[in-house]
Structure 1
Amino acid sequence: MPAADELVATAETYPEADTTLYTVSVARNGVPVEPGGFALDVQQVVDAALEDLQTVGSSPADPLLVLNPFGTNTTGVYAQFETEDDGTLTYTVSSPGTEDFTRVAEDHDPSASSFEGQLIGVVPGAENTVTATWQPDDGEPTEFSFTMTAPPSASGDRTTLDRTVEGDAEELTDGLFAVMGLKRHVDYTLLYDNAGVLRAEFDLDGYRTDRLEFYGDTMVTTVGTNKVARIDGLGRVVATHVLTGYEMHHDFDVTDDGKVVTLATETAKGSVEDVLVSLDLRTGTFEKTVDFAELLADYKSRTQPYGPNAVDDWLHLNSVDWSPDGDSVIVSSRETSAILKVDDVHGSPEIDYIIGQRDVWAGTDAEDLLLEKAGDFPDTGGQHSVVRHDDESLADGQYYLTMFDNAFWRYNSRPDYTGSVPAEASPVLGADPSLRSKYRRYLVDENAGTYSSVESVPVPYSAIVSNVQDLGGPLVINSGQALTFAEYDAQREVIARFDYALEGTTENDFAYRVLKYEFDDFWFEGS
């Protein structure tokens, strides 16, 4: 009889390859388990199996290759071989009907005697030829190549998006578009290249990726409703943190000293989506740091639960952005169509200001916290992805806020409200092509107590979800319910648009966010 909770890893050859390509399976007490379940004991057994196999990787001409050993990236190929000197590994993935995908792989072995990395870019369900060249710092290059038919997409989603190029495709920034929170299969994140080809696929644990952040040499992301994982560049899960008593939703950020500040619902409370929890990645401890039901108690007393299940969703926070300036956060409230700044998040939190419709807050203790509008422009309606941008050209106390203005108005928690609504907001819940949402950029002047609109760009309408991402000039904008995202140049002209609707699933479908990442110094060698 096996010992209690005995884990055994078995290496086998992958049959759909023209070289020795391994897979690793794990059994617990004789029962197969998925290595992608983010259980650390399973990850450690896989890691030990890779160490046993590393005698195979004798040279750059004959490397050890293992398909997705840790279960976190369905077509990632772990590569390891012995070397005589430092060098670089450049590789190209070629697949029929797609553009070649070329990168320089990041070496995760600090010694000069071995290379260890992950080859990203294999297209699911297709024949792929990977050609790699190891160039030592001092010596002649060595090449190896292999051809494999990759396993099909685990999510079953599209391996190629519909791309419409409206500008110069060469102007697209480097990186991969991470399509997150697809409603049709929320527990996968799909990463597409600039040609719209699926190059990586994260298999999660029942919850979407809210975003990807990088801390040290690891990627930090949400993988379960109350679970945060840290994953290294090899795909290995190095830590998981379970936030017992809370359910995460919508967004998180990572502070400079390694704390994950995340929007959450406290499961023991009656209200939802109205607290901020801080997880210390160094210690694994976590605590509730901000309870908006306490900070806005007078306002909350005027609201009521709504919907068939009488949910007390009085604030509905949907984005958070942390700043070292006063240990502050900018949060977005969809229910009130408001943007709030909270100072001293890890000390004695206080609301510094609110941006939004004055009538919403009239007569409450929070009314005096409203910034004054400088100029004539409509306020946002149900906005998402509000991000602070500090700029050295601005005076102290000034900064920009960018956001996706959904231009949608829904105020269910106060059915007796008769005040003003944003001038251009619509009550249409969906993706009406006759309507427009907007990319918006505000200038906040804390010294003057004002905010002004400095940029507004119409984009496809999406009443809920959606996001914008400022890439330092170019923009990525996802209109979730319209099932489309695009990259814009610095003049706000569309370079290329990508449509991700899947036939038969468009009704009530969306992607929560699309964000672009370079993955330099993680999967790929940085410049």
Structure 2
Amino acid sequence: MSKKNKQRSIFIGVAAILVLALVSITVLVQNSKATETKEEAYVLPVASSQDVTELDYSNYEIDSVSDVYNPDIQSQIQEQLSELEAATQATVTDPLLVSNPYLTNRNSIYVNFKTTKEIADVSYTVKTANIPNFSETLVNSGTTTNFESQLIGLIAGEENQVSLTVTYTDGTTELKSFTYTPQASNSGLGTQLDVTTYDNPTELSNGLYALIGDSTLENRVIALVDNEGYVRNEIPLVNYNSMRLSFDSDNNMVFAISNYSLVKMNQLGQVVAKYNVKDAGYLLHHDYALDDEGNLIALATSIQAKAENDYVEDRVIKIDGETGAVTEIANFADLLPDLYEKATGKVVSTAEKGARDIVHINTIQYINDDELILSSRETSSIMKLTDVSTSAQISTIISDSDFWDGIDTNGAALLQKEGDFTSQLGQHSVTYEAGADDEHYTLYMFNNNSAVMDSRTDLDMTPYLEAGAGTTDLTSTENSYYYEYEVDESAGTYKLVKEFSVPYSTFISSVQKLGSNYLVDSGQVATFTEYDENGAPIATFTTTGEEKFLYRVYKYEFSGYYF
């Protein structure tokens, strides 16, 4: 069956996907964290073109992905590449082309050449048999007469014909074409995702989908996927989830490579900084944000608190962008001591069996140095943290009041619903949008509509279940929702201003606004869909493996980074 125009079969197809995939959710949730400490192997690139060469890695002892992200090895690779560039009289017609030199972008080629005229831009097209062309304009990390860039978009394991077009400031052009076959992917993701399109005239947004945290892959990667579902690049990971991709003021891309390390990677794929939080006594969990000074604010688990009290996923830490020093911003056991006294249940629904997951903070949004928005899955609450730079405290909580009945919020104000709706349940990917002033803003999220709350054995979830608003059944085929709130702190209220139903996911998942479109990842069935402004689907993408577990999907244009 064609991957296009399957709308008539979608209802049967999606139902089948949901039933088959959700039956295995419990096992997948439990097994996913087993891969957090699994070390991924690394296969070095082998050139398959007379035009494209590879560096010599024989002296670097690279056996694993951890070795790839070793800053010392990255520096040695940079020295070798610089020496090769200096020894090569590269021109447009005879450029220096190196296969994935820093080993961090598997479907990439380093491009360098010198010119006597000033370069305006360099565009390229990748042609692969029976696959739509991929065209972009490269960012220039060099000068106007010494071009240097990283070219992505090649299809792994296939012969790619690449055409470079150099346009000079005087309007003239120069061309270079070559062929190259990157090594076949060992991630297990395949060349293309399953794609279903709908009778919707709205166009998909520009950019590449970043598939983050597929724990069922043979080797973990961040996969960059185009609008036709083709995998255009893979960035290897050590373990766990990369959480999100962020870009600092120097156009470095920031992401996690494991449950204890984050890195900064420049436009050429070189790792220029690495941050290790394990040495400071923490493990990363779920999310981070960059502040205005380039520091990282991350969600974490205290290794000591987990060992002594079974507490997990309840800390906020700050990682100095220059030194890597780690300081603790918030400990929710201190912020909400009454909740910790009353939430006595231990985890039974996920891999953290036996742990005390009292708040399970899963999203962080940086407003300024003193204010953060945090999403607490376990309490089905959205919290605003204030006085972050001095002594953090919770100022407001957005949640159904039932979950806080009889709980001392330690001074935090519980905002009131304006209107008749059920507040979010087990939400993920809460995103902040500034409003007219500090007290008026928008929050949008993936409302999982999940009533799983292992820590609160004292709560009766029956009213929510009877109303069809949530479920504790991990194999449920109920709907989840896109939710959008307008928050008025001055009035102490929040109201639901937009919602539409999406495939159900008990845990994980993400949402993202893309202009007037919406990207929604229903993570536990590894399906993501781009919707129009009315919540009607434009296209749905599904990974092709038998097991499905896709943590987050965000879309990036990579302007100023790759393009």
- Name the structure 1 match of 2:181: 149
TM-score by length of 1: 0.91
Pick one of 395, 403, 413 that aligns with 1:369: 413
- Name the structure 2 match of 1:181: 213
| Offset at residue 187 of structure 1 (A) | 2.6
Q: Does 1:322 find its partner at 2:366?
A: yes
Q: Helix, strand or coil: the match of 2:76?
A: helix
Pick one of 313, 323, 331 that aligns with 2:357: 313
Q: What letter is aligned with 2:76?
A: V
- Name the structure 2 match of 1:448: 491
| Offset at residue 35 of structure 1 (A) | 8.3
**Partners of 1:403 and 1:468 within 8 A in 2:** yes
**Partners of 2:189 and 2:543 within 8 A in 1:** no
Q: What do residues 18-64 of structure 1 show as CA deviations (whole Å, max 9, x unaligned)?
A: x3311124244777676862111101111111112113252111110
Pick one of 124, 128, 135 that aligns with 1:91: 124
Pick one of 375, 378, 382 that aligns with 2:426: 382
Q: What do residues 97-132 of structure 1 show as CA deviations (whole Å, max 9, x unaligned)?
A: 2110000000001x2330000001001111111111
Q: Does 1:205 find its partner at 2:238?
A: yes
**Partners of 2:60 and 2:73 within 8 A in 1:** no
Tell me the percent identity. Answer: 35
Q: Helix, strand or coil: the match of 2:382?
A: strand
Q: What do residues 354-398 of structure 1 show as CA deviations (whole Å, max 9, x unaligned)?
A: 11121221222218621111110011111101111113xx46521
Q: Does 1:226 find its partner at 2:269?
A: no
- Name the structure 2 match of 1:4: none
**Partners of 2:189 and 2:544 within 8 A in 1:** no
Q: Helix, strand or coil: the match of 1:87?
A: strand
**Partners of 2:451 and 2:461 within 8 A in 1:** no
Pick one of 294, 298, 301 that aligns with 2:334: 294
Pick one of 249, 265, 269 that aligns with 2:285: 249
Q: Which consecutive residues of structure 1, in runs of 5 or more, have no partner in the other structure?
A: 1-11
Q: Helix, strand or coil: the match of 2:541?
A: strand
Q: Does 1:520 find its partner at 2:563?
A: no
State how many pairs are aligned.
503
Pick one of 263, 274, 293 that aligns with 1:240: 274
Pick one of 39, 42, 45 that aligns with 2:76: 45
Q: What letter is aligned with 1:472?
A: G
1:56 & 1:493 partners in 2: Cα distance? 53
| Offset at residue 234 of structure 1 (A) | 0.6
Q: Helix, strand or coil: the match of 2:257?
A: strand
- Name the structure 2 match of 1:332: 375
Q: Helix, strand or coil: the match of 1:390?
A: strand
Q: Does 1:284 find its partner at 2:324?
A: yes
* Stretch of structure 1 that moved more, 99-108 or 163-172: 163-172
* Stretch of structure 1 that moved more, 22-31 or 333-342: 22-31
**Partners of 1:36 and 1:71 within 8 A in 2:** no
| Offset at residue 256 of structure 1 (A) | 1.5
| CA distance 1:57–1:95, shift in 2 (3 Å) | farther
* Stretch of structure 1 that moved more, 65-74 or 50-59: 50-59
2:123 & 2:415 partners in 1: Cα distance? 52
Q: What letter is aligned with 2:253?
A: M
Q: Does 1:417 find its partner at 2:459?
A: yes
* Stretch of structure 1 that moved more, 202-211 or 32-41: 32-41
TM-score by length of 2: 0.85
Q: Helix, strand or coil: the match of 1:299?
A: helix
| CA distance 1:499–1:490, shift in 2 (3 Å) | same
Q: What letter is aligned with 1:298?
A: D
| Offset at residue 86 of structure 1 (A) | 2.7
**Partners of 1:36 and 1:70 within 8 A in 2:** no
- Name the structure 1 match of 2:4: none
Q: Larger relative CO (CA 8 A, sep 6+): 1 or 2?
A: 2
Q: Helix, strand or coil: the match of 1:77?
A: strand
| Offset at residue 429 of structure 1 (A) | 4.2
**Partners of 2:347 and 2:356 within 8 A in 1:** no
1:134 & 1:79 partners in 2: Cα distance? 12
**Partners of 1:72 and 1:204 within 8 A in 2:** no
**Partners of 2:220 and 2:238 within 8 A in 1:** yes
| Offset at residue 15 of structure 1 (A) | 4.5
| CA distance 1:144–1:403, shift in 2 (3 Å) | same
1:88 & 1:410 partners in 2: Cα distance? 53
* Stretch of structure 1 that moved more, 19-28 or 197-206: 19-28
Q: Helix, strand or coil: the match of 1:310?
A: coil
Q: What letter is aligned with 1:210?
A: M
| Offset at residue 350 of structure 1 (A) | 1.1
Q: What letter is aligned with 2:501?
A: P
1:25 & 1:428 partners in 2: Cα distance? 54
2:461 & 2:286 partners in 1: Cα distance? 28
- Name the structure 2 match of 1:500: 543
| CA distance 1:199–1:206, shift in 2 (3 Å) | same
Q: What letter is aligned with 2:549?
A: F
- Name the structure 1 match of 2:529: 486
Q: Does 1:128 find its partner at 2:160?
A: yes
Root mean square deviation, CA, Å: 2.1
Q: What do residues 331-359 of structure 1 show as CA deviations (whole Å, max 9, x unaligned)?
A: 11111111111112222111011111212
Q: What letter is aligned with 2:225?
A: Y
Q: Does 1:344 find its partner at 2:387?
A: yes
Q: What do residues 195-217 of structure 1 show as CA deviations (whole Å, max 9, x unaligned)?
A: 11100101012222100000022
| Offset at residue 317 of structure 1 (A) | 1.1
| Offset at residue 320 of structure 1 (A) | 0.9
1:162 & 1:87 partners in 2: Cα distance? 38
| CA distance 1:127–1:421, shift in 2 (3 Å) | farther
| Offset at residue 284 of structure 1 (A) | 2.0
Pick one of 250, 260, 274 that aligns with 2:314: 274
Q: What letter is aligned with 1:303?
A: A
1:169 & 1:149 partners in 2: Cα distance? 35
- Name the structure 1 match of 2:509: 466
- Name the structure 2 match of 1:8: none
Q: What letter is aligned with 1:483?
A: A
- Name the structure 1 match of 2:442: 400
Q: Helix, strand or coil: the match of 1:24?
A: coil
1:250 & 1:13 partners in 2: Cα distance? 31
Q: Which consecutive residues of structure 2, in runs of 5 or more, have no partner in the other structure?
A: 1-43
Q: Helix, strand or coil: the match of 1:224?
A: coil
2:60 & 2:237 partners in 1: Cα distance? 24
Q: Helix, strand or coil: the match of 1:26?
A: coil
Q: What letter is aligned with 1:181?
A: G
- Name the structure 2 match of 1:21: 52
| Offset at residue 469 of structure 1 (A) | 0.4
* Stretch of structure 1 that moved more, 307-316 or 375-384: 307-316
